[in-house]
Each structure stands twice: as structure tokens, then as C-alpha cells.
Structure 1
Amino acid sequence: MKLSPREAARYFARPDPDGAGLLLYGGDPMRVALKRQEVIARLLGPGAEEEMRLTRLSPGDLRGDPAALGDALKARGFFPGPRVVFLDEATDTLADMIEAALADWQPGDAQLVVTARQLTPRSALRKLFEGHRTAIAIGIYDDPPGRDEIEAMLAAAGLTGLDRAAMGALTDLAGALDPGDFRQTVEKLALFKLGDSAPVTADDVAICAPRSTEADADALIHLVAEAKGNQIAPMLRRLEAQGVTPVTLCIAATRHFRALHAAAADPGGAAQGIARARPPVHFKARDRMVRQAQGWGVRRLEQGLGLLIDTDLQLRSSSRAPQMAVMERCLIRLAHLGASRS
């Protein structure tokens, strides 16, 4: 069966121990892996690795031995307790083998947990799990964790009594950081407050938050898109000192301007185009990017993308020109192009 996001949140909090199987799929391997770890830990409890109640299989194992999956689900271990068979990086080519194993599954067998990359609605794997009576399919999307999920992470880390400002700061971080980085920040915050009975404050969150060069790079790209050419050089020097490469900046700028172009060309208007962007635009940047897309227009955004593509080719070529100088010239030309728009 297929679970909605709300149903999935309830499932992750308390996975069904009597289910036959679970399929987790999504475009971000880190997000999928974190959810898989969470589910398996809750299904098996402590000591599963030492007691050999978790069996790991790869697609190569099944291609070499098609019966390996069914055998692993039926196997009985030396230690009592629930068991899980984990199949990583599955593809539609394994759907028939998985279907046969699930058809032979009986209560008392190990539960099957399968992970996969992004799957279309026509995927054989998705159809198999979504149509199964006792198996579940859950899509893991790039949306930042919601308040319920953040509160669950905080509770698991032993953090309680956050004030409103601290919760707001964590929510902002959840939207800005990768899932793994955010989880590490929560764990760091828990260690920071260990033995401290005072409520967690926004200042505590700021102390534990990682220094993100990506946030600075985004700030630079916004300056370019808003034609603030006189502020580009100081920001660029700071990023260069932090080790950010010209190619990284070019990729970030191209991604940003492509999002603006898609929004400007959207039949429903720039606001609707930004709302449709994938990965989603952080809520704090949405209005800003809507204004940028409306101000630039499709024609000038196409010119800007052409300039970025030419710069990217030059950065990746054998040219001896200083790469950061090439990138700086590109950004300044983009800002001038934005300032000249009518």
C-alpha cells in the first residue's frame, strides 16, 4: 500500500512489526538512508547487529543467486527477536524476484526493507509494494522536515524545553541543511546542553550550527541577481578564503538562474513557477526570487544563462586565465545585465 506524507510520519514513529515489507525511494540517497536507518532501528531494537538479526543484501547478490532473498527471509537465527532483510539500491529489474519472495512470505519471517532511487509511478517496484496487502511504499522527497519530525529528533536526542525562538532557528536550519548535517547539529546541540537544565535558546542553536559556505554562496548569487555589483567583490574574496571554488560558484549561479528562468516562463506567473521549483525554494527566499524573476524577464535570463554556460566551459577548459578572476568577471557582467533591464 502507498502511504501519504501524514501516514508516513506516523509509520516512521511506530513501524508495523507485522508487515511483510517496506519500500523507501527518493532522489536524495542521504534522506532515504536516514529514514531506512530509523525504521530498521525501531523494528529491531538494540543489539540487532551483534545478534545477527539484520541481513544485508545487494542487487549483485540476487543476480548471482535469485533464491537468496527468499532464503534470507525464511532463515532462522540463533537469537530470538524480530529480523530484517535489507536490500539496498534496488531497481525494477529485481521486481520479479522481490514479488516471488513476498508471495512466499508468512508471519514469523523476516521483514523486507528495500531502498531505491527515484521511481516513477509506472515503476514495477512501486506498483508491487503499493498494490501489496501487507507491504508499504513510501516516497522520500526533498522537502525539509516538518515540525513533528523535528520534535521527534529532539525528543530522541533528549532535548526538551526549547523556547519559541530556538524552535524557529532549528526549523530554519532544517530547511537550509542537508538531512545528515541537520541531524548532526541536533546531536551536537544535545551534547552542548548535557547537564544544563536551562531551556535551549536561539543562541545555543547558533553556537552549534555549522558554518555553511553554501549559505554565503547563495547570498552572493542573490546579490548578482539583484544587480548589486558593488558588493560582489568583497563577498567573493571571503568565499575564496573559505576554499569555495569558481566551478562551485558557477554551478550555484547556473542553478539559481535556471530556477528564475523557469519561474519567469511559467504560464501561471513567477510566483507559481517558484512554488513549483524542484528542489523546493526555501520559504525565506521565495518572495525574493519571485521579484528577481519578474524583474529580469525571460529574455535577459536567457542571456544570463548563456553567459554562465560560456563561463563554465572556460573554467573546465585548459585556459590559463585565473579561474576566480574569470568567475568574478562573469558575475559582474551578470549584475550589469540585470541593472540594464528595462
Structure 2
Amino acid sequence: MILKGAEISRYLTKPDPTRPALLIYGQDAMRVALKRAEAIAALTGPNADEEMRLTRIPGADLRKDAALVLDAIKEVGFFPGQRVVFVEDTPDAAAPALKAALEEWAHGDAVIVVTAGGLTKSSALRKLFEPHQSAVVTPIYDDPPGEEEITRWLKEAGLTEVPQTAMRDLLALSRALDPGDFRQTVEKIALYKHGDPEPLTQEDIALMAPATIEAEVDELIDVVADGKSDAFGALMRRIEAQGIAPVTLCIAALHHFRALHAAAADPGGPQAGLSRLRPPVFGPRRDRMARQAQSWGMRNLEEAVHHLLDTDLQLRSSSRAPQMALIERALIRLAMMPRGSR
């Protein structure tokens, strides 16, 4: 049985222990690992390791000893409860060993959970599992988790009420982070809000989201985009003392002003435009950038982007002009530019 779309998440949260085996495969090792952990936890319940109800076998070992899986599924445990044999990072060469175990599997034996990387249609593992009458196949794609899955994670962590505005930011955050970081962030948010009668807000999400390494650079670019030239000098000196390269500052400023330009050009307005960026902008930062885009206007943003492109070319050229002075002059000029939609 091959599962697709939302069926995958629903099945992995409650796998059928009467089915002999489950194949989880995909290009993203972190996504596969998260889904595998979820399925095994649902099958075995708590304390599976301590009660020796979970057996781990490296997939590569099956090429040397084909009987490892068959012996493991037939073992009788000391503790009651569902047993699982987990075969990890499984190559196609392990298919014959798994085929023998599937043929001998009987009710009461351990469920076999197999993980693998990206498998082509010609893969021996797929050819073994996909036509099997009872085994389950769950291909894991690089899609971010959807609203149903995020809601379930929050409920499992004890947070049941999520306003739609907060959910939109969580969906945006899921597209910006890798799966492991996003799952940890969701758990962190639920822990932070545990026992709080107030609903989850955009500010809560922004507070719990992982901080970017370039936080001070972002702050400097915001000062420029907000036209706060009086705050520019102290921030610039602090960043200069950290040894951040002038080209890095220029790239960050270009990225920011191009995002503002795209937001200002969006027919749905700056808020919608920022949500459509990849990665999307969410929470209070989206509101701030939307205000910036509206304040600057299309023509001024085009001029700002052209000015930064010229500065970038100078920084990368053979010019002997002091590079930090070049980018500082460019950013000051932007901070002091008149705003408006001319």
C-alpha cells in the first residue's frame, strides 16, 4: 500500500501493528528521521528501548548477514507490548534479506520499519514493498508540514487553541526552517505558552523563532530602511568592530531592498507580497517591512536597489577605495533619502 499526501502523516501517527512492514524513504534525511521516530513511538509506546522492544539494525549489515532481520522479528521479548525492528539507511542490496523476512512474517512478530534515502522507480526496495499486499510505503517529500500536522504537534505538546493569524505565521516559519529546527520551535512555543490563558500571538512566535546569526546586520538595515540616520553611526561602529565584511553588508542591504521592492509591486499589497517571498517574512517583522515598502514607494526602492548594485560592483572591483567607507556612505545616503511614492 502506497500512501500519499495527508494520508502519510495520519498513518504515521497511528501505524497499523497488524501490517508486517513500513518503508519510509526520501531525499531529506532529517524529514525521514522525524517521520520514522514518530511511527516507531506510535507503534511501541514509551520505554521501548529500556524494555528491549526496539531492535536497531544498520541496513548495510544485511549484505553480510541476511538472517539478521528474520531472527530479530521472531525473537520473544521479556516485556509485553509491541516490538519493532528498525532497519536504518537501507541500501537496495538489503532487499533479498527483507524479502525473506516478509515471507516468514506472522502475526505476533515484530513490525519491520525500514528507512532509506531517495529511491528511484527501479529501486529493489520499492519493487519489493510497493506491490506487497500488506506492507506500507510512505515516500517523504521536501514539502513543509501543513496546518493539520502543525496543529497536531501543538496539541501533543499541550497547546490546543491557535488563532488563524498565528497559524499563518507558523506555516510561513515552516517554509523558512529545516524540519528539525521547526519541530523544536513548535515544541518550544507550546512550552512557552503552557498554562497561559492568552491565545498564541504573532509576537510569541517571533520571540520563539530561532534568531538569525546576522541579527545585528538586520538591525542596521532596518535602521537604514526606517530612515533613522541618528541611530546609524553607533550600530555601524559596532558591526565594524565585529569584522563583518563590507560585501556582506551590501548583500544584506540588497536582499532587504529587493524584498521591499517585490512587496511594493505586489498587486495584493506589501503584506501579501512579503508572505509570498521565499523564504516568507512573518510576524512583527512582516508588519515593519510592509510599512517600509509603503513609505519608500516603488520609484525610490528602484533607485535604492540601483545604488546598492553600483556599490556592490565597486566593492568587487580592483578599486583601492576603502571598502567599509564605500558601504557606509551608501547606507547613509539611503537612510537620508526622502520617502514617498513618486
Say whether the fold is shared (TM-score over 0.5).
yes
Shift of 1:237: 10
Quickly say closer, same or farther: Cα 1:120–1:244, change in 2 above 3 A. Answer: farther
State the AA in 2 paired with 1:101. A
CA distance in 1, matches of 2:279, 2:207: 28
CA distance in 2, matches of 1:110, 1:43: 10
8 Å CA contact retained: 1:160, 1:199 = no
Residue 24 of structure 1 aligns to a residue whose secondary structure is strand
Shift of 1:285: 2.2
Quickly say closer, same or farther: Cα 1:84–1:241, change in 2 above 3 A. Answer: farther
CA distance in 1, matches of 2:89, 2:110: 19
Residue 138 of structure 2 aligns to a residue whose secondary structure is strand
Shift of 1:165: 1.5
Shift of 1:194: 2.4
Shift of 1:214: 8.3
Shift of 1:59: 2.6
Match of 2:319 in 1: none
8 Å CA contact retained: 2:158, 2:194 = no
Match of 1:23 in 2: 23
Residue 57 of structure 1 aligns to a residue whose secondary structure is strand
CA distance in 2, matches of 1:129, 1:57: 18
Q: Does 1:6 align with 2:6?
A: yes
Shift of 1:9: 2.4
> What whole-Å deviation, never above 9, does each CA across 1:42-71 have from its counterpart, x for those lacking one?
000111111100000013432332211100
State the AA in 2 paired with 1:53. R
Match of 2:172 in 1: 172
Quickly say closer, same or farther: Cα 1:237–1:88, change in 2 above 3 A. Answer: farther
Shift of 1:195: 2.4
Quickly say closer, same or farther: Cα 1:215–1:5, change in 2 above 3 A. Answer: farther
CA distance in 1, matches of 2:110, 2:177: 35
Larger radius of gyration: 2
User: TM-score normalized by structure 1?
Assistant: 0.65
Match of 2:277 among 276, 285, 289: 285
Shift of 1:211: 1.2
Shift of 1:244: 8.6
Quickly say closer, same or farther: Cα 1:167–1:50, change in 2 above 3 A. Answer: same
> What whole-Å deviation, never above 9, does each CA across 1:198-250 have from its counterpart, x for those lacking one?
211111111111113489999xxxxxxxxxxxxxxxxx99999899999xx8x
Bigger mean CA deviation after superposition, 184-193 or 104-113: 184-193
Match of 1:133 in 2: 133
Between the aligned residues of both structures, percent identity stands at 53
Quickly say closer, same or farther: Cα 1:193–1:287, change in 2 above 3 A. Answer: closer
Shift of 1:39: 0.4
Equivalence map 1:125-164=2 (5 Å): 125-164=125-164
Match of 1:261 in 2: none
Q: Does 1:106 align with 2:106?
A: yes
CA distance in 1, matches of 2:92, 2:11: 24
User: TM-score normalized by structure 2?
Assistant: 0.65
Quickly say closer, same or farther: Cα 1:103–1:216, change in 2 above 3 A. Answer: farther
Residue 96 of structure 1 aligns to a residue whose secondary structure is helix
Match of 1:35 in 2: 35
Bigger mean CA deviation after superposition, 24-33 or 8-17: 8-17
Match of 2:264 in 1: none
8 Å CA contact retained: 1:213, 1:242 = no
Match of 1:87 in 2: 87
Quickly say closer, same or farther: Cα 1:242–1:10, change in 2 above 3 A. Answer: farther
Equivalence map 1:161-310=2 (5 Å): 161-213=161-213, 284-285=276-277
8 Å CA contact retained: 1:213, 1:244 = no
Shift of 1:179: 0.8
State the AA in 1 paired with 2:41. A
Quickly say closer, same or farther: Cα 1:26–1:53, change in 2 above 3 A. Answer: same
Residue 167 of structure 1 aligns to a residue whose secondary structure is helix
Structure 2 unaligned segments of length 5 or more: list them.
219-235, 256-273, 281-315, 317-322, 331-342
Structure 1 segments, 4+ long, off by >4 Å, are 213-218, 236-246
Shift of 1:13: 2.7
8 Å CA contact retained: 2:159, 2:194 = no
Quickly say closer, same or farther: Cα 1:34–1:139, change in 2 above 3 A. Answer: same
Match of 1:230 in 2: none
State the AA in 2 paired with 1:17. P
Quickly say closer, same or farther: Cα 1:147–1:78, change in 2 above 3 A. Answer: same
Structure 1 unaligned segments of length 5 or more: list them.
219-235, 257-281, 289-310, 312-324, 333-342
Quickly say closer, same or farther: Cα 1:169–1:136, change in 2 above 3 A. Answer: same
Q: CA RMSD in A?
A: 3.8
